[in-house]
Structure 1
Amino acid sequence: MKLVNQIKLVALGLTGSMVLAASVAQAQTELKVYTALETEQLKPYAKAFNEQYPDIKIKWVRDSTGIVTAKLLAEKNNPQADVVWGLAATSLLVLKEQNMLQPYAPKGIEMLSPKFRDADANPSWVGMDAWMGALCFNTIEAKKHGLPKPTSWEDLTKPVYKGHVIMPNPASSGTGFLDVSSWLQMFGEDKGWGYMDRLHNNIARYTHSGSKPCKLAAAGETAIGISFAYKGANLKKKGAPLDLVFPQEGLGWDMEAAAIVKGTDKMDAAKKLMDFAITKQANEMYNKSFAVVGYPGVAKPIPHYPADAEALMIDNNFEWAASKRKEILSTWQARYDGKSDPK
């Protein structure tokens, strides 16, 4: 009889636990979050958020910057996302122009550097960190083909590099777009397109991912990948035979940023995510991947990044880049898309 009672108590305990677990699961709010963050960043970011907000579950929808931007624009009249967390500021400026973002000033926004937030009194987006262009240079492949290490963007147009350079397509990659828009700003529009004409002669192919040229360089499938510093530093840390090159003319860059999508029916949860996205804790997390973050005083040096990373970043006119985005991409595709990877 005693054993029977014990079994009943265990069964009741298990039932109670199952009911409690079910009620917790039912109480969770699911936020659909569109992002272009690197895949390996998704779990740590969600985990840190859930430590503070266990009642909110993040459902990630992840792709490259251009594809996420196009998806959001296509869904304008029937929004599917609740929040964007980790998309280029230039893309969010396009969405803001289309009246697709819900203005909200997260708690503590006054602590952010002014250039890491929308200038409006009631901001439509907030910045997280800055990612910058870089060249991933495979030292083994370079030696095999007798290639000198480039030090400038102009170097990449030299005949010696013909067929040894891979870069991202700016229509699908935020990294590709920051490169193209920065060249147009650094050199002037006419000279910028002239530069890209000469560079195109040396390009082996254009990828649809900003990190892929660096991955291909790390794997020895090309000598030079035009990519971004985070991916190069990460691969070098893992032992890839890469040198990171930061061209002397200056580095294009963009901000990863966050915003609430207008029309969400989960506004309370969306605001909590925005509040978290600008905290010191979140910025410390961003600093594990990026040398420049939105919260002043947080950033610490990152291995394989230049010590003066922020000084190398050009004076990027995000509003100009966003307003010209459609025109820039149309011109680029008409001139160079023939070497792009199949979609």
Structure 2
Amino acid sequence: MKLKKSLLMSLAASAIAATAATAETELTVYTAVEAEDLARYAETFNKSYPDIKINWVRDSTGVITAKLLAERDNPQADVIWGLAGTSLLLMKSEGMLEPYAPAGVDQLDPKFVDGGDPPSWVGMDAWVASVCYNTVEAEKEGLTPPTSWKDLADAQYEGHVIMPNPNSSGTGFLDVSSWLQMFGEEGGWEYMDGLHANIARYTHSGSKPCKLAAAGEIPIGISFAFRGAKSKADGAPLEIIVPSEGVGWDMEATAIVAGTANLEAAQKLVDFSVTKEANEMYNTGYAVVAMPGVAKPVEHFPEGLLDAMIDNDFEWAANNRAAILKEWANRYDGKSEPKE
């Protein structure tokens, strides 16, 4: 009887162990990636790792960054996937990231990899500022196409420009931080004072200004180039303008949150993020990706844009982020859309 009971207990223990071995690991992944792209990333990852379930928590760059900082002492996320590099630099300085060198990281362009050994984050792709100019609506208003950022402060554009709020949008922050770098602190704020007079409203999404321009709701949307190229390919009467002073840019990057209880699964997701397959997927939404030689030409992507990318000081932008955002809000937040 004792032998039978012992055998049953042994079988039960084996069954429990087998169940545990096949049970799903759930990863909570904070992201600012466009919502429509997330399902295909998870589906592709799960072909190799069907036992790891990704629970996406998605919002704009500013919201996700603020959420992570608020949870610093009690992290709720396991992985950060596709958040602005400037945000991840800030989190690295706060000790919030778990350094990890994913398999294949040496295949990436070095500027897409954190300089630590091992790196605290790895880049995925880059998005680049540009101006989406609706030629039909602009003609109705008697506007002439701008050729520079400073042109947008001209009185002819009053009420005809929309741009993203940098407190919510990574695109908005790269615009503001790049203007401060290009024009100097005093000159940058002076420029934004002039631009503000022409702004109809500030959106909480980086792609929305270009989408609104493409739809004919506004002649000019300050956004990013790939969004403009995509809208133009869909038939929108857009000209994608590369301002003569140069353009700001930032990268989407991935990192492991320090203290995660699911470190092994998190490492597998970060390993996937640097693969050629993943980089090919990034290229469907971005013209610039981390792995050299992968990106294919993008229809309507403006000529000279890559050469116009400024030598962005990401460390400066990250270290001064809070002060920049506070100053911007004090000056301009009155024209921001209500938050959803």
When normalised by structure 2's length, the TM-score is: 0.92
Q: Indicate the SS of the match to 2:56.
A: strand
Query: Is the aligned partner of 1:198 residue 2:198?
Result: no
**Residue aligning to 2:273:** 277
CA distance in 1 between partners of 2:225 and 2:21 (Å): 39
Query: Is the aligned partner of 1:333 residue 2:329?
Result: yes
CA distance in 1 between partners of 2:216 and 2:311 (Å): 33
Query: Is the aligned partner of 1:299 residue 2:334?
Result: no
Measured after TM superposition, the shift of residue 126 of structure 1 is: 0.4
Measured after TM superposition, the shift of residue 254 of structure 1 is: 0.2
Q: 2:245 aligns with which of 235, 246, 249?
A: 249
Q: Indicate the SS of the match to 1:226.
A: strand
Measured after TM superposition, the shift of residue 307 of structure 1 is: 4.1
CA distance in 2 between partners of 1:163 and 1:307 (Å): 28
Q: Indicate the SS of the match to 1:128.
A: strand
**Residue aligning to 1:287:** 283
Where does 1:142-153 land on structure 2 (aligned, <5 Å)? 142-153=138-149
CA distance in 1 between partners of 2:61 and 2:262 (Å): 24
Q: Indicate the SS of the match to 1:84.
A: strand
**Residue aligning to 1:309:** 305
Measured after TM superposition, the shift of residue 241 of structure 1 is: 2.2
**Residue aligning to 1:158:** 154
| Structure 1 segments unaligned to the other structure (5+ residues) | 1-22
Q: Which amino acid aligns with 2:269?
A: L
Measured after TM superposition, the shift of residue 306 of structure 1 is: 2.4
Does the 8 A contact of 1:132 with 1:251 survive in 2?
yes
CA distance in 2 between partners of 1:229 and 1:26 (Å): 44
**Residue aligning to 1:30:** 26
**Residue aligning to 1:60:** 56
Q: 2:103 aligns with which of 96, 103, 107?
A: 107
Q: Which amino acid aligns with 1:247?
A: P
Distance 1:260 1:156, change over 3 A: same
Distance 1:200 1:68, change over 3 A: same
Distance 1:307 1:287, change over 3 A: farther
CA distance in 2 between partners of 1:288 and 1:308 (Å): 20
Where does 1:122-141 land on structure 2 (aligned, <5 Å)? 122-141=118-137
When normalised by structure 1's length, the TM-score is: 0.91
Q: Which amino acid aligns with 2:279?
A: N
Query: Is the aligned partner of 1:91 residue 2:87?
Result: yes
CA distance in 1 between partners of 2:30 and 2:21 (Å): 22
Q: 2:45 aligns with which of 49, 61, 81?
A: 49
What is the total number of aligned residue pairs between the two structures? 321
Q: Indicate the SS of the match to 2:147.
A: coil
**Residue aligning to 2:210:** 214
| Structure 2 segments unaligned to the other structure (5+ residues) | 1-18
Distance 1:173 1:25, change over 3 A: farther
Does the 8 A contact of 2:241 with 2:302 survive in 1?
no
Does the 8 A contact of 1:291 with 1:309 survive in 2?
no
CA distance in 1 between partners of 2:225 and 2:37 (Å): 15
RMSD: 1.4
Measured after TM superposition, the shift of residue 249 of structure 1 is: 1.1
Does the 8 A contact of 2:27 with 2:52 survive in 1?
yes
Q: Indicate the SS of the match to 1:135.
A: strand
Q: Indicate the SS of the match to 2:293.
A: coil
> Greater CA deviation, 49-58 or 24-33?
24-33
Measured after TM superposition, the shift of residue 212 of structure 1 is: 1.2
Measured after TM superposition, the shift of residue 142 of structure 1 is: 0.6
CA distance in 1 between partners of 2:250 and 2:269 (Å): 21
Q: Which amino acid aligns with 1:175?
A: T
Does the 8 A contact of 2:242 with 2:305 survive in 1?
no
CA distance in 2 between partners of 1:149 and 1:307 (Å): 17
Q: Which amino acid aligns with 2:30?
A: Y
Measured after TM superposition, the shift of residue 25 of structure 1 is: 11
CA distance in 1 between partners of 2:296 and 2:303 (Å): 10
**Residue aligning to 1:322:** 318
Q: Indicate the SS of the match to 1:199.
A: helix
